[in-house]
Structure 1
Amino acid sequence: MRTTSPLLHGMRATETITPPHTAAELAALLELLRAQRPRIGTVTIGHSRDAVSAAAAAAFADAWEGEILAVVDWPEEAASWLRPARRFTAGHPDAWVVAGIPLGWAQMSRRLRHSTGWRPTRTFGFASVTRSAALAGPGTLRGLRGAAFDGGTWEIGPGLITFFPPRTGRGPSPDDRAVTAYGPYGDRFRGAGATEAWAPGRGRR
């Protein structure tokens, strides 16, 4: 068992408001989970305690047709995040669904990787959680996937996040992908398809 603390010390939540989720975002998230094989039957939902994250989690719970094992929330600041981490991983769901403010989810995910059997490759998030990638540190969220505000999708990789535009009749094209690098150099978008990735009206960089 690891003995060093996984938590980010000396940091306080400064980004405490996230834009409300959109109908297109929720629909894309549901479609993403339904498309998984083996089929996802049970989920655990996790969210920050702010009203926007709680509303996103509730909307997903109302729309999900499978079984929900638990709905777990966590604070933005805590001594260890160990109690919510254990509740989040109890019951061994097929997948986890997350909505949250960046720093709180970064702290929670670091605790999950350090102290539980949680796997980001079985986790799906609302658009807000992409902002946690750099804070959480290298590899912590690698493999986590989710939906963007415009109904597109994204996947966190090693030092980058790849965004895919909403599905169209012609199908996806490699030229449609947009990649943002995260880490010490901040967020940098390149390629097409980055519009509306984080918030409505943000546009391409």
Structure 2
Amino acid sequence: MTSAELEALVRLIGRARHIVLGTAASPASRADGERVAAAWGGLVLATVTWPETAASWLRPARRFAAPEPDVWVVCATPAGWTGMARRLQLSTSWRPDRTLLTAALANFPVPGLRGTRADGTTWETR
């Protein structure tokens, strides 16, 4: 994660009262999640980590969606997030329009998602 990307992500989080962080199990994804939490400095209700491959992703999806934060922030890889996003849509009250993604997931094809690119610009899927 670049500094410009991190700054843009913190701006997108804005005045949220609390967030839930979701990360892939990779060391880079987890480190990005820690950087986001530290840079934002607000209340993180939960940090949920999921594998790149899983039978259903149901357990992490429920843990990710259950706290119902102001904003969900995802630092993950496309492989793991694809399965996780599908499970979130099918089995939880998760809302894409309250979810922010890092550059690794730029322009992920679920309407309502927003995120940052490495250069600090932002995007939204319509």
TM-score, with structure 1 as normaliser: 0.59
Q: 1:57 to 1:40 in 2, by over 3 A?
A: same
Task: Kindly report structure 1 stretches of 4+ aligned residues shifted beyond 3 Å.
Answer: none
Find the aligned partners of 2:106 and 2:40 in 1 and give their Cα distance: 22
1:76 aligns to what SS in structure 2? coil
Q: Give unmatched runs, 5+ long, in structure 1.
A: 1-20, 134-140, 158-205
Equivalent residue number for residue 57 of structure 1: 33
| Mapping of residues 131-150 of structure 1, within 5 Å | 132-133=108-109, 141-150=110-119
Please tell me whether the aligned partners of residues 45 and 96 of structure 1 are also in contact (alpha carbons under 8 angstroms): yes
Equivalent residue number for residue 61 of structure 2: 85
Counterpart check, 1:151 vs 2:100: no
Equivalent residue number for residue 24 of structure 1: 4
AA at the equivalent of 1:147 = T
AA at the equivalent of 1:79 = A
Equivalent residue number for residue 117 of structure 1: 93
1:93 aligns to what SS in structure 2? coil
Counterpart check, 1:33 vs 2:13: yes
More helix by percentage = 2
AA at the equivalent of 2:123 = W
Please tell me whether the aligned partners of residues 105 and 132 of structure 1 are also in contact (alpha carbons under 8 angstroms): no
TM-score, with structure 2 as normaliser: 0.95
1:70 aligns to what SS in structure 2? strand
Find the aligned partners of 1:131 and 1:79 in 2 and give their Cα distance: 25
Q: Which has the higher contact order (CA 8 A, sep 6+)?
A: 2
- Report the Cα offset of residue 90 of structure 1: 1.5
AA at the equivalent of 1:143 = G
- Report the Cα offset of residue 130 of structure 1: 2.2
**Bigger Rg over Cα:** 1
AA at the equivalent of 2:11 = E
Q: Equivalent pairs: percent with the same residue?
A: 49
How large is the Cα RMSD of the aligned pairs? 1.1
| Mapping of residues 93-132 of structure 1, within 5 Å | 93-130=69-106, 132=108
